[in-house]
């Protein structure tokens, strides 16, 4: 993994819209994205904003409709602030001569080094974007995870990019300035999918959403998972759910 991302492209080269900080392991995923037909296309824009952010009853920030939204309508399309591998990358570390480290110590040193690299990467974000990223909650629930990885786990959505030959899939986590503020519901009123061509997450209404109604998505992108798997997946977001879907294995 390169220690720093490539310099940002101009907005013209990106096809309009803000650029994203992308951290890739090797060059395969980057080549897959750059070779996508039509990339980079402009992010779809609304003539009038269809949403606003506000306080949710669960004491979190949430996304709310600013007008009536019909089923199938695009609510928002947004590029990520930060996109990185969903699984932390092992970073080579040099041990002092004669020092024999345990596997746990090696892992701790690798995570510390990885976090230092990530901090340097985050520093390359524009000031407003960097501030927005650090405003997301971080519970520091895992020792050694660090403030950046913890925020990615707590607030990131899954983004999968296929290789050029479609034989391999690169799994990422991405945090978005506004989309990552949408709260979870196991029976959502909106759906999400990532469009590589415009490099943006698209949120569409699953049903009619009324003005000032809160917009929800499901953080579980595979509805075939068991209740135990659902609860485990939601736990990383700090969510404990007792709905019928999450309780079906109890």
Q: Residue 101: its pLDDT value, please?
A: 77
**Structure confidence at residue 157 (pLDDT):** 94
Please give the pLDDT value at position 79: 95
Instruction: Output the pLDDT for position 2.
Output: 39
What is the pLDDT at residue 208?
98
Low-confidence ranges of the chain (pLDDT < 70): 1-17, 89-90, 140-145, 222-224, 248-250
Confidence (pLDDT) at 227: 77
Q: How far is CA 123 from CA 128, 129, 140, 236, 249, in A?
A: 11, 10, 20, 25, 44
pTM of the full predicted structure? 0.84
pLDDT in tens, 23-42: 887 788 889 999 999 988 99
DSSP assignment of 14-69: HTSS---EE--SSSHHHHHHHTSTTPSPPPP--SS--EEEEE-TTSSEEEEESS-B
Residue 12 pLDDT: 43
Residues 84, 125 contacting (CB under 8 angstroms): no
Exposure class string for 17-26: b at 16+ Cβ within 10 A, else e: bbbbbbbbee
Task: Give the DSSP letter of residue 163.
Answer: -
Per-domain residue ranges of the chain: 11-219, 222-250
Q: What is the pLDDT of residues 83-135, one digit of tens each?
A: 999 887 667 777 777 777 787 877 778 788 888 888 999 999 999 999 999 99
The pLDDT score that the predictor gives to residue 6 is: 46
Q: What is the pLDDT of residue 203?
A: 98
Fold adopted by 11-219: Beta-clip-like (2.170.270)
């Amino acid at each position: 993994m390169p220690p720093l991302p490539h310099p940002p492209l101009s907005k013209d080269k990106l096809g309009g819209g803000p650029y994203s900080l992308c951290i890739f392991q090797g060059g395969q995923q980057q080549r897959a994205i750059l070779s996508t037909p039509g990339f980079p296309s402009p992010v779809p824009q609304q003539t009038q904003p269809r949403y606003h952010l506000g306080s949710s009853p669960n004491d979190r920030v949430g996304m709310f409709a600013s007008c009536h939204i019909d089923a199938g309508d695009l609510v928002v399309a947004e590029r990520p602030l930060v996109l990185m591998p969903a699984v932390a990358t092992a970073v080579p570390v040099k041990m002092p001569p004669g020092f024999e480290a345990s596997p746990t110590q090696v892992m701790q040193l690798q995570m510390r080094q990885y976090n230092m690299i990530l901090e340097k990467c985050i520093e390359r974000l524009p000031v407003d974007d960097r501030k927005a990223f650090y405003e997301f909650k971080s519970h520091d629930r895992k020792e050694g995870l660090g403030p950046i990885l913890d925020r990615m786990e707590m607030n990131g959505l899954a983004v999968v990019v296929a290789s050029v030959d479609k034989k391999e899939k690169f799994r990422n986590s991405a945090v978005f300035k506004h989309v990552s503020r949408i709260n979870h519901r196991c029976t959502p009123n909106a759906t999400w999918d990532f469009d590589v061509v415009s490099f943006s997450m698209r949120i569409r209404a699953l049903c009619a959403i009324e003005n000032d109604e809160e917009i929800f998505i499901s953080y579980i992108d595979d509805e075939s998972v068991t209740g135990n798997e659902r609860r485990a997946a939601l736990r990383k977001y700090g969510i404990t759910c007792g709905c019928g879907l999450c309780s079906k294995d109890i």
